[in-house]
Structures are given as C-alpha cells and as structure tokens.
Structure 1
C-alpha cells in the first residue's frame, strides 16, 4: 500500500512542472505533436516535438520527445563527450530517471538541475539518468549517506 501512496505523492509533488509540460505539449499539438501515456516511463509522452535540438526533455511526469517515441537508442552523455565507451541506452529509460528525480524533488528539480551545470556531461542529474539507463538502478544524483 505504501508504494502506490508514495507514487501518488511524488506525482502531486512534481505537478507544477508536469503542468508546464502538459501546457507545452498541448500548445504544440497543432504542429503535429501526438500524446500518449507511457506506463513504463510513468509519463505522458508528447512525440514529434517540433522545436529544439532533438531527443527528449522531461518536465515532471511529461516527456517532450522529438521522435516518434521513447523506444529508441541514444548515447550517454559521457560517451558523447568522449570520456568512455558505453553501449547505446533506451531514451525512455534515461528520461524515466528524470521523472523519478522530479517526483522526489518536485519544484526544486529545475533550479537544482541548473545549479549542477545544466545540459552537460558534468551534470550529476544527467550522469545519474545515464547510469539508470545503463544498469536499471542509480537514478538518484547523490551518493547515499
């Protein structure tokens, strides 16, 4: 019983950013964006997002994806930066880690994300999302005490 309650609390805590994601997704629907709920990724996914550099961006329990879905392979940030060699990861797994991060940090996620470096390989949130996508664990960006 605790798990569904904790999940619901996390969804509620992330709701301000989720609302931003829903508004952005709905605003883009006249440009061909499609919406569907992904139970696997715990998010409402808007596909065919027409703006930005490509890939995906998470806002609470919403993922804005430039492709046709999250079941595509992508490179980790460290691999792209030439720091190491990683196998490709599923984009949805990486974005699901961000969903979990939002559910725990709620409105604090975005300020903390940018304080940690923004969209770079140095950002602990991105490294944690890559770790989760690679191994299925480790989405939290700080070591356990």
Structure 2
C-alpha cells in the first residue's frame, strides 16, 4: 500500500507541477524580502514562512505554501465562523492548507480555474469548506465530498 501511495503522490506532484512552479517563483521573490523556507513532509509542501505580502494567513500553490506568519501549526477560525454562519471550533492552519495540497495533487492544472469558478477566497467556495472540514475532522478534503 505504501508503494502505491508513493506512486500516486509522485504522479500528483507531476500533475500539479505548473502550480508548484508558480508557488516556487513567488516564494523565491519572498526570500529576497525576508521569507524563509523549509520542507514539511506532513503537508507534502515546501513552506515559505514570513512571506511578506497579503492580508495574513496562507495560500497554497501545488506543493508550495506561502505563509505570512512563523508557525503553520497556529490555530485559526473556519471560513463559516469568520462569516458569522455559526460557532465553530478553531482549526489548525497546517491541516487546512494540507487539504489544499491534496486538492492540487488530484486536480493539477484544473485546480485554479475550478477554485476561482467556485467563488475564490470565500465561505461559498466548496474548496475552502472542504479544507475546513478536513482540518476539523481529518477527512473530507475532496471539494465534492459530503463528509
């Protein structure tokens, strides 16, 4: 099973390589402005911490996570909680972003167009709701999953 999983991950990484290259380019630019990078095996991603632009939080491109803070294991609120759709327990940002990495591995170059067509960065976006669900429960990262 491990070998099959590794082959699937390698194929997913190849499939999403165009997205990863965008993340690497943005991360490299951030390095010149004080960001630093390290590999996080659990997230299957190269994480650029202290990425100097954006409103805060993180954004994922393939196997790259651009993070404005120092600790990806920081708690954060879900999109539904932030939008006032109810009280939800905090989640861990790393778990949320890992779900996006999985989504990229599955959808490759289709991820960004589908993500944008689903509403972009908002509570209405099925990709964000799935990432929050995965961060809360450890399952359901697929955007068209009901669990």
Q: Report the TM-score range of the alignment, normalised by the length of the smaller protein.
A: over 0.9
Q: 1:28 aligns with which of 27, 30, 39?
A: 30
Q: What displacement does 1:47 show?
A: 0.3
Q: What displacement does 1:30 show?
A: 1.4
TM-score (norm 2): 0.96
TM-score (norm 1): 0.97
Whole-Å separation in 1 of the counterparts to 2:120 and 2:51? 20
Gaps of 5+ in 1: none
Q: Which residue of 1 aligns with 2:97?
A: 95
Q: Which residue of 2 aligns with 1:122?
A: 124
Whole-Å separation in 1 of the counterparts to 2:138 and 2:25? 30
Q: 1:78 aligns with which of 77, 80, 84?
A: 80
Q: What displacement does 1:28 show?
A: 1.2
How many residues align? The count is 144
Q: Which residue of 2 aligns with 1:106?
A: 108
Whole-Å separation in 2 of the counterparts to 1:133 and 1:9? 24
Gaps of 5+ in 2: none
